Structure 1
Amino acid sequence: MNIVRGDLVELAKAGAFDVIIHGCNCQCQMGRGIALTIKQQFPEAYAADCQTEIGDRTKLGNFTIADIDRDDFNFTIVNSYTQFHWKGDGVLADYDAIRSVFREAKQQFGGKRIGYPKIGAGLARGDWAIISQIIEEELAGETHTYVEFVN
């Protein structure tokens, strides 16, 4: 796992990544954190999320994608369903869902430069030590980067 400090979205727009993966809940909200930034800057990513059923638990571990194609940049956004809801106490991140997302991402985006935030360990209150280990295992052999957010 490569680690850089910065803004994942801005780095993707600058050409650092072919694919960015971020965590979503299964409620089609994208209302806080990096999901909100993505929703605001790339409505096609939110539209892909809204094509799914609100509150469908079977979305956990799956994802939707949006190919972003602008004059100055292009990359793919992966809306990964890594938590069921944003409400509630305790850990909201689903570690099995995170594993499934990254396993499938390797199958679909192998060979591409993949970037992601501290997925599942921020607002979803998951344990980054566990999550980063899952990512390392599932993306073994791939070029992938955790972007530690710096404003």
Structure 2
Amino acid sequence: MKTVTGDLLQFALDGKFDVIVHGCNCQCQMGKGIALSIKQRFPEAYAADCRTTKGDERKLGTFSEAEILRGTRSFHVVNAYTQFHWRGTGIKADYEAIRKAMGAVKSRFSGKRIGYPKIGAGLAGGDWDLIRSILEEEFAGEDHTYVEFSL
């Protein structure tokens, strides 16, 4: 896993990634954290999320996607369903859903440059060390980069 510091969304706009992946809940909200930034900057990704069934637990471990076209740049935003909800306290990240979703992302986007934030370890409260190992296993052999947010 490569690690860089910066703004994942700007990196995508600058052509550094073909695919960016973030963790989503199954409630079609995208109301906080990087999901909110994605919703605001790339409404196509939110529209893809809204085309799924709100509150459907079967979405866990799957994803929706949107192709983003900005000028001459094109990339995909992947909404990976890695937690069921956002309410309450405690860990909301579902480690098995993270594993399944990342495996599905690898199948769909193998050979592409993939960037992601700290999926499941921010607002979802998951253990980053465990999630990092899942990402490394599921994206083995792929060009994938963790982007630690910084302006």
Aligned partner of 1:91 in structure 2 is 91
User: Structure 1: where are the runs of 5+ without partners?
Assistant: none
Distance 1:107 1:72 in 2: 26
User: Structure 2: where are the runs of 5+ without partners?
Assistant: none
Kept in 1: contact 2:13–2:70 (CA 8 A): no
Aligned partner of 2:102 in structure 1 is 102
Distance 2:110 2:92 in 1: 28
Q: How many residues of Structure 1 are paired with residues of Structure 2 in the alignment?
A: 151
Secondary structure of residue in 1 paired with 2:64: strand
Q: CA deviation at 1:101?
A: 0.7
Partner AA of 1:93 in structure 2: A
Distance 1:5 1:58 in 2: 34
Distance 1:44 1:143 in 2: 24
Following superposition, which runs of at least 4 residues in structure 1 exceed 3 angstroms of deviation? none
Q: Does 1:26 align with 2:14?
A: no
Aligned partner of 2:139 in structure 1 is 139
- State the TM-score, normalized to the length of structure 2: 0.98
Secondary structure of residue in 1 paired with 2:67: strand
Q: CA deviation at 1:72?
A: 4.0
Partner AA of 2:113 in structure 1: R
Distance 2:44 2:148 in 1: 25
Aligned partner of 1:50 in structure 2 is 50
Distance 2:19 2:88 in 1: 30
Partner AA of 2:22 in structure 1: H
Aligned partner of 2:60 in structure 1 is 60
Partner AA of 1:47 in structure 2: A
Partner AA of 1:22 in structure 2: H
Partner AA of 1:28 in structure 2: C
% same residue: 64
Distance 1:72 1:87 in 2: 39
For residues 30-81 of structure 1, what are the alpha-carbon distances to aligned partners after superposition, in whole Å with 9 as ceiling and x for unaligned? 0001100110011110000000111000000000000001214210000000
Kept in 1: contact 2:117–2:148 (CA 8 A): yes
